[in-house]
Amino acid sequence: MARPRTSARTVEHPSMAEVSLQQVLEALAEPVRRTVVSQLATAGEDISCGTFDVEVSRSTLTHHFNVLREAGVIRQYYVGTTKMNSLRTDEMEERFPGLLSALVTASALEADAPTH
Amino acid sequence: MARPRTSARTVEHPSMAEVSLQQVLEALAEPVRRTVVSQLATAGEDISCGTFDVEVSRSTLTHHFNVLREAGVIRQYYVGTTKMNSLRTDEMEERFPGLLSALVTASALEADAPTH
DNA sequence: TCGATTATTCGACAGGGGTCGTACGATGGA
DNA sequence: TCCATCGTACGACCCCTGTCGAATAATCGA
């Protein structure tokens, strides 16, 4: 009996109506997670979990991705053993207009002109 | 010797260049503090600390105001024994364009259409 | 079939932060 | 001068969350 050659592992995502502003802000108030979001926004393409440039262990990274996903910020799907990530940009824009984009902009701003 | 009839108690405020995105997000990720900000945004005028509609003790409230002030979100000044609060709307807009306004909008949105 | 790679799960740990009560300080009015 | 009011300071407490390592699961390629 052939198993499906495309991964059957599915990932649960909340509908945007289910996510609260509180969740989104908690998710985005964490530096590592904001780094992830920034890299996703900059990349312009989906990125696998393992290729992010962050200095935490794999298990910690898994935790952060879970928080981001449950907050509706990212979408995840398996490709083989790797898990791809993308921003739910448009949906977030519809749910909380201007919020995610302002945040990404602010992140970029600060990267250029650090507070120091 | 006449003491100044206008309170000499001054309050320290950071310049906007000194506040980090991290500080702002941490400040605004807390529900009580976001309630304070929402009420300030809605009021359209300066409000004294004691007149906010939040269910925490006075000492806790003091703590929240400190966090908001140090994050550059609010400005405070004494009038007699009462302490007035105002949003640093324009300055925040300049420092992190769209961020505070998106947040206030989102807060209002959710108040109308709760996640439930 | 076996190993390598990728990600998850679980338990444990430490630190931070929100909370309160009480005591204190500053101001204004009686 | 005395009291009431408004806010602060301090210490204590507890929960939440970010962190890790080790063990496990799933997939791909050789």
Other CB atoms within 10 A of residue A7 CB: 14
Neighbours of A26 (CB within 10 A): 17
Tell me whether residue A3 is in a domain: no
pLDDT digits (tens, 9 = 90+) for B81-111: 999 999 999 999 999 999 999 999 999 988 7
Domain-located, residue B64: yes
Specify if A112 maps to a domain.
no
* Nearest CA-CA distance, residue A16 and chain B, Å: 9
Bases of chain D within 7 A of a CB of the protein: 4-11, 17-23, 25-28
Residues 29-58 of B with CB under 8 A from A: 29, 31, 34
pLDDT of residue B8: 59
Q: Which B residues 79-108 have CB within 7 Å of strand D?
A: 81-83
The answer on pLDDT for B115 being more than 80 is no
pLDDT tens string A73-111 = 999 999 998 999 999 999 999 999 999 999 999 999 887
- Rounded to whole angstroms, the distance from the CA of residue A37 to the C1' of nucleotide D24 is 29
How far, CA to CA in Å, does B31 sit from each of A95, A114, A116, B73? Answer: 19, 28, 28, 15
Closest of A106, A101, A52, A97 to residue A76, by C-alpha = A52
Does residue A73 lie in a domain region?
Answer: yes
Asked if B102 is an interface residue toward chain A (Cβ–Cβ < 8 A), one would say yes
Cβ of B54 < 7 Å from strand D?
A: no
Q: Residue B13 carries which DSSP code?
A: -
CB contact under 8 A, A103 and B99: yes
Tens-place pLDDT, residues B61-83: 999 999 999 999 999 999 999 99
Question: What pLDDT score does B9 carry?
Answer: 85
| Protein residue nearest nucleotide D20, by CA to C1' | A57
Mean pLDDT, residues A55-61: 97
What range defines the domain where residue A24 resides? Answer: 16-101
Where residue B97 sits, what CATH number does that domain have? 1.10.10.10
For A3, A7, A9, A44, the CA distances from A80, given in Å and listed in that order, are: 13, 6, 9, 21
Q: What is the pLDDT of residues B24-48, one digit of tens each?
A: 999 999 999 999 999 999 998 899 9
In a domain, B11, yes or no: no
Q: Are A38 and A104 in contact (CB under 8 A)?
A: yes
Q: What is the DSSP letter of B36?
A: H
Q: Are A69 and A76 in contact (CB under 8 A)?
A: yes
In a domain, B25, yes or no: yes
**Strand C: positions under 7 A of a protein C-beta atom:** 4-11, 17-23, 25-28
Confirm whether B92 is domain-assigned.
yes
When scoring B15, B25, B104 by the number of chain A Cβ atoms within 10 A, the one with the most, hence best to mutate, is: B25
The number of folded domains in chain B is 1
**Considering the domain boundaries, does residue A10 fall inside one?**
no
Angle between the N-to-C axes of helices A99-112 and A31-43, in degrees from 0 to 180, rounded to the nearest 10: 100
Is A11 an interface residue toward B (CB < 8 Å)? no
